[in-house]
Amino acid sequence: MAASNSVIVLGAGLAGCAAALSARAQGAAVTVYDPARAARHRVCGEFLSPEVRSSLEQLGAWSEAEACRPALMHSMRVYFGRRVCTDRLPEPAIGLSRLRLDHLLRDAAATRGARFVAERSQPSPGCVLATGRQTGVAPGDRLFGFKAHFSGPPGDAVELYFGDRFYIGVNPVEDGFTNVCGLAPESLLRTIHFSYDALLALNPALAERTRPLTRAMHWLSTGPLVYGRRRQPRGVYPAGDAFSFIDPFTGAGMLNALETGRMAGWAAATGQTPEAYGSAVMGRLRRPLLVAQVLRTAIAMGAATHLAPWIPGRWLFALTRPSA
């Protein structure tokens, strides 16, 4: 298919930059709108699923990512209260801060000719909509995300600690830092006056894990978080969280953002219809979104601790990746 003359992208996060790179590869003129002038720290676990390597290779940005010397993780440890399940990952996962990753992708897109405009914009027909998660009112007990980097002895695994209605991920990133990132409901955060340091102390295994670490930045927080597919205007190519926000414990959000961004940029540049693009994306994401929803319900009901011994981590990991 011939490339269309120009592609407008809203959002310069992972999905938006992936779309820009992919549309540029098809020869389209690309303009990316984002009110943020530069990459910044974001609330994110910074755990990149192993398949991200091939995604970045396809976008022509893997060598830039490798040059940041990301941390590698070979196994996952999941703590349910006192119970711990350990599994080897099928391939090493990657720990890289969003500051670095977003920066290198913006840089790669700009170097390859995408034009960046530091403005918020409104969706227009044919644009790639990569504006991130839905914001606004969330029903019930609102969920908030938080993260900070710590210095101190780094681990070589991704660790997930499930507590009563909250969970926190701990994993290494570049330069020897450890990212600590989690999710908790407002009702719980109120009881500890929104002190994330106090939250770490609520889980004995987590308290022990973080004792030798020193916080290297202020806590960042975001929310309320709203899961699932977003309703978007017709005639656009939604990508990343703007298509659907998957639960962070899957560690698949960034992979999905890069993959759907790449698909959206290609579809917009080659004139594929938004409907055909939407069906192709749903074909890949239907299963992980469904599995994540079931697990989220189990966690909210406090059933995760009972189910944990029966669900192998490898199986869980595989079921929450996009279908090929």
Ligand X SMILES: Cc1cc2nc3c(=O)[nH]c(=O)nc-3n(C[C@H](O)[C@H](O)[C@H](O)COP(=O)(O)OP(=O)(O)OC[C@H]3O[C@@H](n4cnc5c(N)ncnc54)[C@H](O)[C@@H]3O)c2cc1C
* CA 131 to centroid of chain Cα atoms: 13
CB of 134 to ligand X, least distance (A): 11
Stretch that binds ligand X, among 8-16, 20-28, 60-68, 105-113 (CB under 6 A): 8-16
Q: Nearer to ligand X by C-beta: 120 or 314?
A: 120
Nearer to ligand X by C-beta: 251 or 288?
251
Q: Which is nearer to ligand X, 2 or 158 (CB)?
A: 158
User: Minimum distance from CB of 44 to ligand X (Å)?
Assistant: 4
CA distance 184 to 194: 10
Q: How far is the CB of 2 from ligand X (least distance, A)?
A: 27
Give the separation between CA 13 and CA 18, rounded to whole angstroms.
8
Nearest-approach distance from CB 155 to ligand X, in angstroms: 15
Shortest Å, Cβ 80 to ligand X: 19
Task: Check binding of 254 to ligand X (CB under 6 A).
Answer: yes
Complex with ligand X: residue 34 or 64, whichever CB lies closer: 34
Interacting span for ligand X (CB under 6 A) from 36-44, 66-74, 148-156, 196-204: 36-44
CB of 42 to ligand X, least distance (A): 6
Is residue 143 close enough to count as binding ligand X by CB under 6 A? no
CA distance 133 to 242: 6
Report in angstroms how near the CB of residue 1 gets to ligand X at its nearest: 25
33 contributes a contact to ligand X by CB under 6 A: yes
Token digits of residue 227: 């899961």
Contact status: 252 vs ligand X (CB under 6 A)? yes
Residue 275 CB coordination number (10 Å):
10
- Dihedral (CA of 119, 120, 122, 127) sign: positive
Which one of 105-113, 131-139, 194-202, 265-273 is the stretch in contact with ligand X (CB under 6 A)? 131-139
In the three-class reduction of DSSP (H, G, I as helix; E, B as strand; rest coil), residue 28 is classed as coil
Please say which residue, 135 or 187, places its beta carbon nearer to ligand X.
Answer: 135
Residue with tokens 């027909």, as numbered in its chain: 125
Rounded CA separation 75/80 (Å) = 17
Residue selected from 3, 7, 8, 10 as contacting ligand X according to rule CB under 6 A? 10
φ/ψ bin of 193: left (φ > 0), alpha (ψ from -120 to 50), beta (otherwise): left
CA atoms within 13 A on the CB side of 276: 8
Nearest CB to ligand X, comparing residues 28 and 239 = 239
Would you count residue 35 as binding ligand X (CB under 6 A)? yes
276-299: b or e for each residue (b if 16 or more CB lie within 10 Å)? ebbeebeebbeebbebbeebbebb
d(CA 296, CA 154): 28
DSSP state letter for 266 = H
Candidate residues 4, 58, 75, 121; the one interacting with ligand X per rule CB under 6 A? 121
Shortest distance in whole angstroms from residue 228 CB to ligand X:
13
CA 215 from chain centre, in angstroms, equals 22
Strands 220-222 vs 143-151: parallel, antiparallel or unpaired: antiparallel
Q: Per-residue contact track with ligand X, 147 to 186, x per CB under 6 A?
A: ----------------------------------x-x---
Please answer whether residues 78 and 313 qualify as being in contact, where contact means their C-beta atoms are separated by less than 8 angstroms. Answer: yes
**For binding to ligand X (CB under 6 A), which residues are involved?**
10-16, 33-36, 43-47, 120-121, 130-133, 145, 181, 183, 222, 225, 240-242, 248, 251-255, 257
